[in-house]
Structure 1
Amino acid sequence: MRTFHALGALHRVVEVDEGLRRQMALRYPGATVTGELADALADPEVDAVAIATPAATHAQIVRRSLEAGKDVFVEKPLCLSLAEGEELVRLAEAEGRILMVGHLLRYHPAVRRLKRLVTDGELGRIQYITAERVSLGRFRREESVLWSLGPHDVSVVLWLVGEAPVRVRGQGSAFLQPGVADVYAAALTFPGGASAYLLFSWLHPFKQQRLTVVGDRRMAVFADTEPVQKLLLFPSGADWQDGRPVPRRGEPVPVDYQREEPLAAECRHFLDCVAERRTPETDGREALGVLAVLEACQQGAQNRFPGALVHESSYVDDDVVIGPGTTVWHFSHIRKGSTIGPGCRIGQNVVIGPNVQVGAGVKVQNNVSVYEGVELEDEVFCGPSVVFTNVHNPRSHTPRMHELRRTLVKRGATLGANATIVCGVTIGEHAFVGAGAVVTRDVPDHALVLGNPGRIAGWVCRCGSRIAFGEGEEAGRCTACGQAYRRVEGRVVRG
């Protein structure tokens, strides 16, 4: 209000608190002060609305303002979900309205000078960026510290790097209020090789707002809490001598920049965009990039699968269930609609899905693809590079996914390394398919299958050892654990 009043643009003030309304009426006698947003939105003399309310209310007020035909400036964050933000951006574009988000640091003259250093190649290739925004309070109840403080630095980091991250990891902790994180740490990886490491906290013994950009030529530091000189350029880096990196140190050099209050520059930019009908630098589309990072950080901190471990190099689609105690190792992909039970071990470079059911205690070794149509019951073991098919006679030029044949691997079965399981078969409980075998027909319980095509070469116990049957005898025992078995009509049963 102070800034828009100084710029001669303040026409109305909407404030729900009666005591604050009285203060505003005395401070800004030229403005109409009311407690009803509807009155302001119905005023034909109001061209634009500036929204500085709790973050949880942003989406509703932005939507009402756009629908009333007003241009909108809203403080960060645009809203508290990416999906909601996309709806607001679509609405602004459909209504032909200006939508600007208050990512204030983008209008800080020192940060704008820092952007020029990066663009002009003064720092060389960006290697990594660190950002710290910590202080004691102000505590929020509507949004976590990530959503309260994070938009500032995320917006600047994306601007400096000039591309969206390919991987986002986040971790937060709540100490004061359950479910409202007081500290967040995030790591961003960009396709060009740069990284960013961000720390946000409102439970810190001192206030610090520092952004460090490390390039392969020079380094720069923006320290917003410094009273005078906020931007320094360091000639520091690393040089190579005799095949070894050695540090290159140097005294920091202050960087000159235009002195202007960032908020005044931001508000003036909004008024210019309204008057000239041009897109703001921090428009709704730019805000969506920030929301995408914040949401990814939050999802990384809120483990989607409590008690499970999914390696950061693996991908898990939406609509997937992974049970507690399950581990998914490097470079694997769990596709949509799939369910993996508890206590499983999924190795490296494994693809499961879509729509595959994996039971409890299953072990899938490296380089296995479990395609749609395959079901693995509890305690199945798939050795390295086992091959499943799901179409009987595939052709590249003839779509046949509608001809999927179901393959069922029953409880406790073992599939040896490089075995091939042709679709449409059932492998019985505790059966054992030897390494390299090709299974083309159903396998009964406890059968040992070897060769190409696979043939029954014996029988195995639940423990995995052979069952010894005397010649012509129907009763036998496991050679390891002594469990008794009987042959009944071409199959083997316990007892």
Structure 2
Amino acid sequence: MHTQNIAVVGTGYWGKNLVRNFSHLGALRMICDISQEAVEKFIAQYPGTVGVHSYHEVLADKAVQGVVLATPAASHAAMCQQALLAGKDVYVEKPLCLSEEEGAELIALAEQQGRILMVGHLLWYHPVVLKLKELIDAGALGRIQYIYSNRLNLGKLRREENVLWSFAPHDISVILGLLGEMPESIQAQGGNYLHRKIADTTVSLLNFASGVRAHIFVSWLHPFKEQKLVVVGDKKMAVFDDTALWPDKLLLYPHSVEWAGNIPVAHKAEAEKVTLPESEPLRAECQAFLDAIASRKPPYTDGKEGLNVLKVLNRCQHALESGATVVVEQSVEEKKYRAHASAVIDHNTVIGQGTQIWHFSHILSGTEIGAECSIGQNAVLGPNVRVGRGCKIQNNVSVYEGVTLEEYIFCGPSMVFTNVYNPRCEFPRKAEYRQTLVKRGATIGANCTVVCGITIGSYAFIAAGAVVKADVPDFALMVGCPARQIGWMSRFGERLDLPLHGNGEAVCPHTGERYQLTDNQVHIVYG
């Protein structure tokens, strides 16, 4: 149990829930509200709690270590600043504030004062969202293509903010976190029906450099309550329905689309329930604040995360008012990458934060490289190549036009990609490039050759020197010239005790993850 060191300021619609949770966690010392009636009610409900009407009394109380703000958004900047200057850790309900400049100042002030600054983006403390993030990061859904969220209800009408600012911060926070990137541009439209200057319904479209698109539909003029997030991947589709009963809150749909006669054909599959222990997200969020106070480590929804959400909110508002597509300027921090002075980087390239490009390498026009990649010496990428986050491309590797690398691909030294199947120097064949796709987590060993026009599956392992000229299944272990399959590998890179064909189950000896072989395809067993 924590000592009683938290003051909750504002005990209205949402503040009362914060009061309840911090009290149950044994951390509630004080409540503050301008309403005498509210203070008296909560003091009676939570004996031993101090009730005050003045925020200055909260800041003056040396026993109060953390301040929780559940006040109108317009008050957040000033009240956060006062609390930080008073030496208090701060948990502020969304949004962080209304001004990006003020948000950046609050983050800097918290760092200067050595204080915790946390934003109440509740869904990041929901077990379903945490599991969804885990599944996406593990590649269970495949390459993410599209995300949409609906947050709809009748009521909760506001006059101090429109529905975008009231409902959308939760969904923006989740989408940014699931994708791990900021959008490049935003479009939005909405309708003002109850008040000429206050939007009651909005739809925002977010476009990301990775190719993902997301839309957020929010309304408080809807015939029924709906809180639903859908993530579409090329392997599976996930549905988080926060209004469903707990066992049905997260469903995975392993639908597939196949091409027959150059026509896409959809194949539907039964939903898979993901089993999770039931818990209250707000309790977990309150606990996270107490843990951050104790450990002095920032929570996931810290000030920087809150500022990113605020930045997107402001661009959505601008797009809503102007009707134009709004570009999201990338911050200096987001643009940071390291390139050796001998490397050549053409114009019209995109390089993610934390990526390192070593000696004598060349990044050609139209190429996009994700964050946290390592491009070795004498490598050539492009033109018009896409490399996902976290890839390691070793020395003397060329990634030619027509090749796409998803996230966390390892390309060993001097391995070779081709993009023309039957090249002749005398007869140019640039119009005959064949597309090659290497899916998330695959490893391609040193001196391998990958013949164009194929797909290498997720977490496949291609041994050094192999020549790959046909599609490779997910998790397959390939050797030789031409490459042939001799087994199966786990995500971690351990060989699995599975038969080459048929059916079976195995456990990764390193991670304990369970794998299932069904009809000559390997899947991770979730739930």
Residue 191 of structure 1 corresponds to which residue in structure 2? 209
Distance in 2 of aligned mates of 1:59 and 1:300: 24
Distance in 2 of aligned mates of 1:172 and 1:243: 38
Structure 1 pair 190/314, CA: closer, same or farther in 2 (3 Å)? closer
Give 1:63 deviation, angstroms. 1.3
Give 1:83 deviation, angstroms. 2.1
Asked whether the 8 Å contact 1:3–1:264 carries over to 2, the reply is: yes
| CA displacement, residues 119-154 of structure 1 (integer Å, 9 cap, x when unaligned) | 111100000000000001101111111111111000
Distance in 1 of aligned mates of 2:310 and 2:172: 9
Matches within 5 A, 1:158-173: 158-173=176-191
Distance in 1 of aligned mates of 2:130 and 2:106: 27
Structure 1 pair 200/32, CA: closer, same or farther in 2 (3 Å)? same
SS in 1 for 2:322: coil
> 2:57 matched to 1:70?
no
Asked whether the 8 Å contact 1:220–1:234 carries over to 2, the reply is: yes
Residue 25 of structure 2 corresponds to which residue in structure 1? 7
Structure 1 pair 243/85, CA: closer, same or farther in 2 (3 Å)? same
Residue 99 of structure 1 corresponds to which residue in structure 2? 117
Distance in 2 of aligned mates of 1:216 and 1:64: 48
Q: 2:52 aligns with which of 23, 34, 52?
A: 34
Please provide the CA RMSD for this pair: 1.6
Gaps of 5+ in 2: 1-18, 330-527
SS in 2 for 1:11: strand
Distance in 1 of aligned mates of 2:300 and 2:260: 44
Give 1:315 deviation, angstroms. 10
Give 1:86 deviation, angstroms. 1.4
Distance in 2 of aligned mates of 1:138 and 1:192: 35
Residue 89 of structure 1 corresponds to which residue in structure 2? 107
Residue 283 of structure 1 corresponds to which residue in structure 2? 302
SS in 2 for 1:302: helix
Give 1:33 deviation, angstroms. 0.4
Asked whether the 8 Å contact 1:56–1:143 carries over to 2, the reply is: no
Distance in 2 of aligned mates of 1:11 and 1:189: 45
Give 1:75 deviation, angstroms. 0.7
> 2:260 matched to 1:241?
yes
Residue 50 of structure 1 corresponds to which residue in structure 2? 68
Distance in 1 of aligned mates of 2:328 and 2:144: 27
Pair member with larger Rg: 1
Distance in 2 of aligned mates of 1:55 and 1:137: 19
Structure 1 pair 260/147, CA: closer, same or farther in 2 (3 Å)? same
Gaps of 5+ in 1: 305-309, 317-495
| CA displacement, residues 295-350 of structure 1 (integer Å, 9 cap, x when unaligned) | 0000011118xxxxx6x49999xxxxxxxxxxxxxxxxxxxxxxxxxxxxxxxxxx
Residue 16 of structure 1 corresponds to which residue in structure 2? 34
SS in 2 for 1:163: coil
> Identity percentage over the alignment?
48
Amino acid at match of 1:282: T
Distance in 1 of aligned mates of 2:30 and 2:224: 37
Amino acid at match of 1:10: L
> 2:126 matched to 1:113?
no
Asked whether the 8 Å contact 1:170–1:296 carries over to 2, the reply is: no
Matches within 5 A, 1:417-436: none
Amino acid at match of 2:139: G
TM-score (norm 2): 0.57
Distance in 1 of aligned mates of 2:176 and 2:326: 22
Give 1:243 deviation, angstroms. 2.6
Structure 1 pair 65/214, CA: closer, same or farther in 2 (3 Å)? same
Structure 1 pair 62/314, CA: closer, same or farther in 2 (3 Å)? closer
Structure 1 pair 182/100, CA: closer, same or farther in 2 (3 Å)? same
